Amino acid sequence: MHNIRFTRGAALLAVLASLACGSLDVVNPNNPDAKRALADPAALEGVAGGTLRTFINTFDANEGNIVLLTQAQSYSASWNNYNMNFYSSIDADGTRNSRPWQNDPAAAGRTSIEGPWTGYYSTLSSATDVLTAIRVNGIEFSSPSATKRAETIAVLMQGAAMMQIALMYDKGYIVDETVDLATLDYSDRKAMRDAALAKLDDAIALANANSFTTLSSWTNGYTYTNTQISRLASTMAAMTLAMWPRNAAENAAVDWARVASYASNGLTSDILFNGDGCVAWCHELYYWFNAVDTGRISTRVANMLDPASQTHPWPAGGNGPPNSPDKRLGDGSFGTPAMVDDWGNIPKTANAGTDFMWTSVKSFNSARGDYHQSNLGHIRYDLTGEQDPSGIWGGFGVAPFLTATLNDLLWAEGLIRSGGSMATAATLINKSRVTRGGLTPAAAGDGATLLTTRLQYEQEIELLGIGSINFLNRRRIDGLLTGTPHEMPVPAKELGVFGQALYTWGGSANPASSPTPP
């Protein structure tokens, strides 16, 4: 059986093709102990746990995601770290994003496409190694429970990796321990989605059939039971269906009753991990956008929170202090009087928001476009209350990966769009709308249209920084600016290995995405 290694900086198909052509007898001096390690149960257990770290760090990475979130006008910044300014700059009239993905080996912007591809296929590679050892080679761990735990997590990560490829790219490779590498070829995004769902269903069944608790090292300080892993897989399955559409037409065709069914068995508590200062564990998106000098929430979202005070786009002279009925913003006060000279903040009052602050400081260069500016920062994950980098979630301390609120909102949407219980949908929306926001409760009598509006408001506010979810949600309701790419192409380095033509999506000369697969 081939030992699949998807290495960083190398084209995936080149690696697979070399393996399929009988190159297993070639000594790899950089990895001489791979065969022995993949027969060692203790080492394999570490590989299984390592798939979680690789996946989470990719899911929460700035590379790739930071562009998507600024293109969605969820967050905003004019810096060009991770190609952010290049891809989120818009035409003078504010209605069009004219830049496609720069899918060329010589283009600096190619890294935004390469990062997620490499991270997710690295996850898939390691997960497949574990399953090859268990299911093909019959490796047994220290106990039957430990074997089933590793098997379940590996299958979960196969599904999660293929989910993200299906959500972000127009096509990819379906790979598992049964694949014939000699016949491997691209599968379209719909086939990728369905393969991901099959793996997630397998993970749900395994988790429900076996009793175990994950090792704390696998999420850097937290453990999860088989029941919680089953719920995580169910939430991911709901995500796979709900967030796959590239436009409103595809969104209308989703099996929303199936989404509701998955979510009804989904997360009831958050999946957490500990950041270690970004040595090995890091929620880069929180670390970047909860520091108000490096990122702000877009004025599009600020305007939703308080239309009276937060104008979109940003006006000359800026937006003044808010007075929002949403407790997550409130009066925008934050921090201490000692901070005012640096941050232009209003020191914290009894009406301070839990998630957002107002600042008079204009952080971004106007020459790059004042539409990047915003007076509101996202401070939900600043545990210090004073913008101390050592206390911002993700870089240091506890950080959420996926949340129960995400699942609740998926469940509510599934019910609304499939004609399910409006009362249950309203209750699910109110878990954040009322409990955290202090807003007027949603009710069954609101009807599907108003409930959907309230649902989408909660999705915008509550899911900020959870991977690229805000982008995916805007994409599927035709909420992105004209010209914004709706998906990524296979990276140029991958295409170039076999002399395949380079292609891209978005901008003024290309479609936003591939056609809907049959």
Match 């070639």 to its residue by tokens. 26
Q: What is the Cα 384 distance to its own chain's centre? A: 25
Q: Which residues contact 83 (CB under 8 A, 6 or more apart)?
A: 67, 108, 109, 111, 112
**Tokens read off for 131:** 């399953």
Please give the pLDDT value at position 396.
87
- CA–CA separation, 161 and 155 (whole Å): 10
- Amino acid identity of residue 371, one-letter, is Y
Mean pLDDT of residues grouped by 10 in the chain (518 residues)?
32 36 35 66 96 98 98 97 96 85 97 98 97 96 97 98 98 95 90 98 98 97 98 99 98 98 98 94 94 96 98 96 98 96 96 98 93 97 90 84 98 98 98 98 98 98 98 98 97 92 96 98
Integer angstrom CA distances of residue 209 from 202, 204, 281, 334, 391 = 11, 9, 30, 48, 40
DSSP label of 359? B
Position 54 scores a pLDDT of 98
**Per-residue buried b or exposed e for 73-97, using 16+ beta carbons within 10 Å of the residue's own CB:** bbbbbbbeebbbbebbbbeeeeeeb
Shortest CA distance to 517 belongs to which of 237, 195, 189?
189
Q: Which amino acid is at 259?
A: V
Asked if residue 274 lies in contact with residue 398, where contact means CB atoms within 8 angstroms, the answer is yes
Residue 102 near residue 109, CB atoms below 8 Å: yes
Peptide bond preceding 313 in cis form (omega within 30 of 0): yes
Q: What is the pLDDT of residue 183?
A: 84
Q: Cα 368 vs. chain centroid, distance in angstroms?
A: 27
Give the C-alpha separation, 166 to 237, whole Å: 12
Residues 101 and 90: their CA atoms lie apart, in Å, by 14
Size of the chain, expressed as the number of residues it contains: 518
Nearest alpha-carbon partner for 504 in 517, 490, 483: 490
**Positive or negative torsion for Cα 443, 304, 252, 264:** negative
Contact at 8 Å (CB) between 76 and 297?
Answer: yes
- The residue among 150, 307, 247 whose CA lies nearest residue 511 is 247
